[in-house]
Amino acid sequence: MPCYNEHGTVSRIVDAVLASPLVGELIIVDDGSADGTREVLAGIDDDRVQVILHDRNLGKGAALRTAYAAASCPFVIVQDADLEYDPADYAVMIGPLVDGKADVVYGSRFMGAKPHRVLYFWHYAGNKFLTTVSNMVTNLNLTDMETCFKAFRREVIQGIEIEESRFGVEPEVTAKIARLDLAIYEVGISYDGRTYADGKKIGWRDGFRALFCIVAYSPAGEALRLKRLLPRR
Ligand X SMILES: Nc1nc2c(ncn2[C@@H]2O[C@H](COP(=O)(O)OP(=O)(O)OP(=O)(O)O)[C@@H](O)[C@H]2O)c(=O)[nH]1
**Burial level of 49, CB count in 10 A (0-12/13-18/19+)?**
middle
**Sequence-distant (≥ 6) Cβ neighbours of residue 166 within 8 angstroms:** 59, 60, 61, 62, 206, 209, 233
Across the beta sheet with 184-188, what order do the strands follow?
A: 75-77, 150-153, 104-108, 184-188
Least distance (Å) from Mg ion to the CB of residue 7? Answer: 14
- By C-beta, is 50 or 57 nearer to ligand X? 57
Least distance (Å) from ligand X to the CB of residue 65? Answer: 11
- For position 144 contacting Mg ion by CB under 5 A, the verdict is no
Q: How many residues does the chain have?
A: 233
- For position 2 contacting ligand X by CB under 6 A, the verdict is yes
Among 65, 67, 68, 84, binds ligand X (CB under 6 A): 84
Strands 104-108 and 49-53: unpaired
| Residue 112, Ramachandran bin (φ over 0: left; ψ between -120 and 50: alpha; else beta) | left
Least distance (Å) from Mg ion to the CB of residue 78? Answer: 11
Least distance (Å) from ligand X to the CB of residue 222? Answer: 25
What is the size of the binding site for ligand X (CB under 6 A)?
A: 18
| CA-only gyration radius of the chain, Å | 17
- For position 84 contacting Mg ion by CB under 5 A, the verdict is yes
Among 6, 30, 31, 80, binds Mg ion (CB under 5 A): 80
Instruction: Say how many CA atoms lie within 13 Å of 112 toward its Cβ.
Output: 18
- Per DSSP, the three-state class of 120 is coil
* Strand positions, DSSP E, 62-136: 75-77, 104-108
Contact range with Mg ion by CB under 5 A, out of 77-85, 110-118, 126-134, 165-173:
77-85
Least distance (Å) from ligand X to the CB of residue 160? Answer: 18
- By C-beta, is 4 or 90 nearer to ligand X? 4
Least distance (Å) from ligand X to the CB of residue 175? Answer: 17
Q: What angle do CA 76, 11, 197 make, to 5 degrees?
A: 100
- For position 3 contacting ligand X by CB under 6 A, the verdict is yes
| Contacts with Mg ion, residue ranges (CB under 5 A) | 80, 82, 84
| Contacts with ligand X, residue ranges (CB under 6 A) | 2-4, 6, 31, 57, 59-60, 63, 80-82, 84, 146, 148, 200-202
